[in-house]
Amino acid sequence: MTHRRVVPLFFAWLAAALSLAVLAGPASAAYDPGDPEQKAEYDATFALGVEAYEYGFPLLDMDRTFKISTSINWPNGRGAGPVNLFSHFRKLADAKDRTVVLPNSDTLYSMAWLDLRKGPMVIHTKKGTKRYHVLELLDPWTENFANIGSPRGARPDGNYLVVKKNWKGKVPKGLKLIRSPHDRIWIIGRTLVFSKKDLPNVYKVQNTFRIVPLKKWNPKRPYAYRYPKPAKVDQTRNEHYIPGTGPGEDPASYFDGLGALLKRFTPPARDRAILDEMKATLGIGPGLTPVADGELSDPQLAALRDVVTGAPARMQSGLLSTYFAEFDSHNGWLVARTGTYGTDYKRRAQIARFGLGAPLPNVAVYPVALMDRNKSPLTGAKRYVVHFDPDQAKPPVKFFWSLTLYDNDSFFVDNPIDRYLVNDRSKLKYNEDGSLDIYVQPNQPTDPDQVSNWLPSPAGDAAQPAFRLTMRLYGLSAAGIKGLIDGTGWQGPSILPCGPGNQTTSGIPCAAE
């Protein structure tokens, strides 16, 4: 976990990205763009460099997150701690909490990193746990390769032996095997919270999650092992940077860092085509350091530097283009299939950049909206009705759903009633026809009957995008997932701005002022 975002966090880009253009970084002083041959070499390198950057970004960002998260020697209650030990979140965020972005008030997280190099580990979850919970297992490439707990398709609670891909030992009786693609795993646990008063009950479930070395495992006493606490607790987390992005670093060194991690975490066979092209053209590959070795020409170095320095704006712009392209088919929401990516490296990089740790759709889907139905940015200078038609008002989920509002910096908005989301556990009032209206506006409705459906937004200037909305949908069926993603099934509610006559252009009444 990082100060930049929390997982599973999904699509946490700044709304200011709406106005960003692709920015070019500093070119090499020796590169002459006026020379046709050099310019052609630059252009060819830049095009492949973008592909290489997107291919490697999830791997490098996961490694950065691992180093920051495990740089303390005892769990801090905010997701960080030593390897092979859970760090449980113990409180829900509020508007004063500026530690992590995209805070979640539906679940409490339980984070852990497994290091299998010293041997297999046992994961224990208590059978018979009725409260919604899931342990999501991610490999270094951000692939969600296994889940344990409540979701459809997840492995049932119990005892699991987690081993490296080529492990050849014998599985002890009572343990079920999970074979990991790599020797490093990120576990993101989520446990449902009903309210602040419910937190002690959540702690009880979190405390049943265990990670035990196989050599210390006692099937009759699953809670006997205790991770050794250090004599001196140090919870000062060290900052780490993706290679090429740290202070004073050559941006092109990103690709040398990629070479080191490609050697550490062997790419799957399906990646052979892009790996062969990167190696043959630019000398980028497992264990290779073309920048440090001085193997690249000045135009090539200039192009790779520009690829790295321009990446944040380029990725934001690309994701925004996707949003616009699918806006109408998803009723103004951006929806993506996450958790597994095949050779869709662009989509994998976008999800890693804006929602590192996103799970498979059978665990959850997170639609996001930056604009109202008229394709205007959401701003605190306007009032909105988020309208669920009668057939939309109860999203087709098995477990729970929510609608959360975040400000332009990805945090909760301070408001007099400390309400940051509405969900299926809220005391919402439905209309007589079964539809549902959520009133998104800075000021509290004057009609007391509408206050329960009020989601406070930040007051702001109409010229500045001020907030965005995120839905969380836990427990969609296979058909529900397909229909949501391809636009043929249930879709998110309409976000309608209020106009003259205290109603939307669709005639939906707005909240009383």
User: Tell me: the pLDDT tens digits for 349-369?
Assistant: 999 998 899 999 999 999 999
User: Tell me: the pLDDT tens digits for 180-195?
Assistant: 999 999 999 999 999 9
* 343 pLDDT higher than 70: yes
Question: Hey, where are the domains in the chain?
Answer: 35-67+244-309, 72-216, 315-504
pLDDT category, 28, cuts 50, 70, 90? low
Its pTM stands at 0.92
* 378 pLDDT higher than 50: yes
pLDDT category, 292, cuts 50, 70, 90? very high
User: Tell me: the pLDDT tens digits for 82-103?
Assistant: 999 999 999 998 998 876 778 8
pLDDT at 131: 97
pLDDT at 354: 87
CATH number of this structure's domain 315-504: 2.60.120.600
- The dihedrals phi and psi of 216, each to the nearest 5 degrees, come to -105, 0
User: Tell me: the pLDDT tens digits for 458-493?
Assistant: 988 777 778 999 999 999 999 999 999 999 999 999
Reading across the β-sheet that carries 467-476, which strands appear in turn? 368-369, 467-476, 397-407, 421-423
Name the helix (H) or strand (E) containing 496. Answer: strand 494-499
Query: Residue 294 and residue 306: Cα distance in Å, rounded?
Result: 18
The average confidence (pLDDT) of the chain is 92
Helices (H) and strands (E) in the chain, counts: 8, 18
User: Tell me: the pLDDT tens digits for 209-252?
Assistant: 999 999 999 999 999 999 999 999 999 999 999 999 999 999 99
Check if the beta carbon of residue 480 is closer than 8 Å to that of residue 367: no
CATH architecture of 72-216: Sandwich (2.60)
pLDDT at 29: 59
- The string of DSSP codes covering 157-169 is SSEEEEE-TT---
233-258 burial by CB neighbour count: b if 16+ within 10 A, else e?
eeeebeebebbbbeeeeebbbbbbbb
pLDDT at 408: 82
Query: Residue 169 and residue 155: Cα distance in Å, rounded?
Result: 22
